[in-house]
Chain A
Amino acid sequence: MSAPYAKLPAWADYGLIPLINLTVAFIVAGLVVLLIGENPLRAAVILVDGAIGRGQAIAYTLYYATSFIFTGLAVAVAFHSSLFNIGGEGQAYVGGLGVALVCLAFDSVLPWWLTFPLAILGAALFGAAWALIPAYFQAKRGSHIVITTIMFNFIAASLMVYLLVEVLKPAGSQAPQTRTFLEGGQLPKLNWMLEAMGFAVRSAPLNVSFLLALVAAFLVWVLIWRTRLGYEIRMRGHSPKAARYAGVSEVRVIIVTMLISGALAGMMALNPVMGDQNRLQIDFVTGAGFVGIAVALMGRSHPAGIVPAAILFGMLYQGGAELAFEMPGISRDMIVIIQGLVILFAGALEHMFRPSLQALFASFSPRAVGAEAKQGESA
């Protein structure tokens, strides 16, 4: 309780602390690697090289990061209203349905640049719709959003299996997926962008939805810090009592926040469905919804933090795949352990090193970190 508002300089708060947390996560991960009898240093080199060593690797890393930016933004927007939306997985999955329906309907008649806006709309609408029911129950009945969104992940999974197997699968096909979209339903790749920077890329799934993700990150910043709605979202997030005092309708804020969150999660589907696989497949989300939680935690719910955090997780995904390939002792699960450790130290234990760092800063310049109260206490 002492010195409740002590604070660090911004560069330490947003730069140093995540860096320390990340370092500790990797040290512990290194110990695990050591435990299974592999050389942690070599593993680290392979991982980093596999993630950013070549143009091909960078393109894959950014492809994964694209998905994580969307789901990270989705979680962050809800966080600002102190809502914990862990239904990004389901919302993205259902968002994929929106993308597929648009592509299947228009890919033969429209060029991609006309299908794309419609697909964005479809993804956002379907994702938002999937978030609406939990939002309504939270706002009106107080049903906890964590529970309902988790359950909706399962409902989404079952619904999509049904639709893919029974409705969307072309007659005569054995695979539970839609037909492949024609050119009008395929997003152009961004390999030229990396090639222009001097990297060689053979074929990688990085596509224009990466740029959309960056635009979305900017728009989320505008929403949260520059609009009346964002102001009300943050107000409710910090103090529901103050929001009530200020005449802000809690029901409205909860529902609108969750619709935006769901829409962002839904837009994640554009990246794999329209940008890479060019068809709707079973389980195309592959955990990106959950990684979004870690990304939002690590990025402190700020777009400027979310984008680098998403790229970091993209590196773990891509570098981890390389690692599993190069070091037979390390399986795909090892990567999940490393990711888990990053989440643990960057998210759950975010404040572990903060007090000692604050004490350290206070010893250099006591006034800068508001440590006066602390000193008074021990005097």
Chain B
Amino acid sequence: MAEAAIELKGISKNFGSVRANRDIDLKIAPGTIHGIIGENGAGKSTLMSILYGFYQADRGEIFVNGERAVIHASNDAIARGIGMVHQHFMLVHNFTVLENVILGAEGEPLLKTSIAKARSELERLERDYGLEVDPDAVIEDLPVGLQQRVEILKALFRGADILILDEPTGVLTPAEAEHLFRILRQLKDEGKTIVLITHKLREIMAVTDNVSVMRQGALVATRKTEETTVEELAELMVGRRVLLRVEKGDAHPGDFVLSVKNLTVEDMRGVKMVDDVSLDVRAGEIVGIAGVAGNGQTELLETITGMRKAVSGTVTLDGAPVELTGEADPTDLRRRGMAHVPEDRHNMGLVLPFEENENAILGYHWQDKYVNGPFLDIEAIRRDAQEKIEKYDIRPTDARLKTANFSGGNQQKIVLAREMEQDPKVLIVGQPTRGVDVGAIEFIHKRLIDMRDQGKAVLLVSVELDEIRSLSDRILVMFAGRIVGERGPDATEGELGLLMAGVEEKEAAE
């Protein structure tokens, strides 16, 4: 076998106490498409950012075509023939395609001459690789798929032999994605090496030659794509580690507390993030929504909890409708008994610079027990926080400590304590154990089961399949904004994995 196009040896990178990459060894053969798969936060993007010079590794070495490479900045990477297509495009919106392509690589002091040179080179590239784009079109007039092509052209124009694509299909329609894969195969046939970062199993199977799986900062396996299966990859990605089987009895579902009917939500670009979703949650049951991150779960949660507008559909809480079109009011929903543990603990569920006790009332700071007229009842707030600290075993036990100084698990307990102690009718929970240590996971799971047994309706969204399977009484699978299937708690991981990967319902049932 020829020399590896890229070889990483012992790459490690920490952000504070977070070990984003640990001791990663990876070889990428020239002229292949190599997939890197893993959940959000597994360290894929960090690894590629190190390769492209955005970050410096704390330890480890990089070899490009057999030569040791020191990459301090993206220019070093470009000089080594590495090009990157970012998840969020780096294009100047009011420039033409041609202007964007030469930006930073003009080569001449006068724009006119460099543009003329670039034009013929660009035409050659477009011809050779089937990447047709009008060089004089302005970026903002182009659809997303073509904008991505411009990004690829930019990399090729700079002489890239190794092309890294970071979650390239996140913004594409299925047809555009299909076209992208054709282009990638063509680039491979021309001898280019391609690294495809994704969390979508189907894409790995469709287009790669080899695949490496990352989990929690480590590279856990590398396989030849033809010798592996979706099930195996899903298992590697999620990790079987501790099978957290929580002790729980049968559910005794009562009345419908939360009903979502034909809910559709679009993002700012008008892309449907939640597509005609209907679901019901009854008192005394946990409904879990499984799915790979980014398939509309975030938007679904934010819409139900009044933080995001819906395009159409209805949400009913305890028989009364929830306002979805105008200025929604999360406070009103809290009054009506909806508690929300948000996915984004750091930016949404907590204000990290606040003292712990200040976060223990976030969203409920209007309640009589916490205020004296316009003043905060500081003593009551601190006493209340101290009680929750003891009840939920939050450590350290200092209610006046800055929240940022608590560990992830304890931060999550602060949020859970706040929301659960409100005695809500329905509890909406997003990624309850993301970034949480194992000990706290068990505690959090127990509390969620307790809530169910107290007759609360619990809607749980998680990308951790184990979590969904061990907690839920019913499992819904979300893919591309739609609910693509419903299963009981005894569904196998493989079965759910296929649904999560967007494999059709019929196939999955076989």
Contact = CB atoms under 8 A, between A and B. Distances in A.
Contacts of A376: 14, 17
Contacts of B352: 5, 238-239
A247 B330 CA distance: 5
B16 A245 contact: no
Contacts of A3: 16
Contact of A5 (B344, B366, B371, B404): B404
Contacts of A228: 365-366, 371, 374-376
Contact of B362 (A226, A242, A370): A242
Given A226-B376, A228-B374, A239 B351 contact: yes
Give the 9 A-B CB pairs with smallest separation, nearest first: A247-B331, A247-B330, A246-B363, A373-B16, A373-B17, A5-B404, A245-B348, A241-B347, A377-B14
Interface of A: 1-5, 7, 222, 226-229, 231-232, 234-235, 238-239, 241-242, 244-247, 370, 372-373, 376-378
A261 to B, nearest CB: 18
Interface of B: 14-17, 58, 306-307, 329-332, 334, 340, 342, 344, 347-354, 358, 362-363, 365-366, 371, 374-376, 378, 402, 404-405
A245 B404 contact: no
- Max count, chain A CB within 10 A of own CB: residue among B334, B365, B404: B365
A378 B14 CA distance: 9
A228 B381 CA distance: 12
Nearest to A230: B376
A244 B307 contact: yes
Contact of B344 (A241, A246, A370, A377): A241
Given A226-B375, A226-B378, A4 B330 contact: no
A245 B349 contact: yes
Nearest to B333: A247
Contacts of B347: 239, 241-242
Given A1-B15, A235-B354, A244-B330, 4 more contacts: A231-B376, A242-B350, A244-B348, A247-B332
A247 B334 contact: yes
Contact of A373 (B14, B331, B363, B376): B14
A1 B363 CA distance: 30
Contacts of A241: 344, 347-348
Contacts of B350: 242
Contacts of A377: 14, 16, 58
Contacts of B353: 238
B300 to A, nearest CB: 16
B330 A245 contact: yes
A3 B405 CA distance: 11
A234 B347 CA distance: 14
Contacts of A242: 347-351, 362
Contacts, number: 89
Contact of A227 (B334, B358, B376, B402): B376
Nearest to B354: A238
Contact of A246 (B332, B362, B376, B378): B362
A248 B351 CA distance: 13
A231 B362 CA distance: 9
Nearest to B344: A241
B392 to A, nearest CB: 20
Contacts of B351: 234-235, 238-239, 242
A1 B362 CA distance: 27
A246 B330 CA distance: 7
Contacts of A4: 15-16, 404
- Max count, chain A CB within 10 A of own CB: residue among B371, B376, B402: B376
A222 B374 CA distance: 11
Contacts of A238: 351-354
A231 B351 CA distance: 11
Contacts of B306: 247
B258 to A, nearest CB: 18
Contacts of B354: 234-235, 238
B14 A5 contact: no
Nearest to B358: A231
Nearest to B20: A1
Contacts of A231: 358, 365, 376
Contacts of A226: 375-376, 378
A245 B334 CA distance: 11
23 contacts: A3-B16, A4-B15, A4-B404, A228-B365, A228-B375, A231-B365, A232-B365, A235-B351, A238-B354, A239-B347, A239-B348, A239-B351, A239-B352, A241-B348, A242-B347, A244-B348, A245-B342, A245-B349, A245-B363, A247-B334, A376-B17, A377-B14, A377-B16
Contact of A235 (B330, B349, B362, B375): B362
B36 to A, nearest CB: 22
A227 B374 contact: yes
A363 to B, nearest CB: 19
A374 to B, nearest CB: 8
A175 B375 CA distance: 48
B230 to A, nearest CB: 35
A336 to B, nearest CB: 34
A5 to B, nearest CB: 4
B371 A245 contact: no
B374 A245 contact: no
A247 B404 contact: no
Contacts of A239: 347-348, 351-352
A241 B298 CA distance: 14
B17 A246 contact: no
Nearest to B404: A5
Contacts of B307: 244-245
A178 B381 CA distance: 52
Nearest to A246: B363
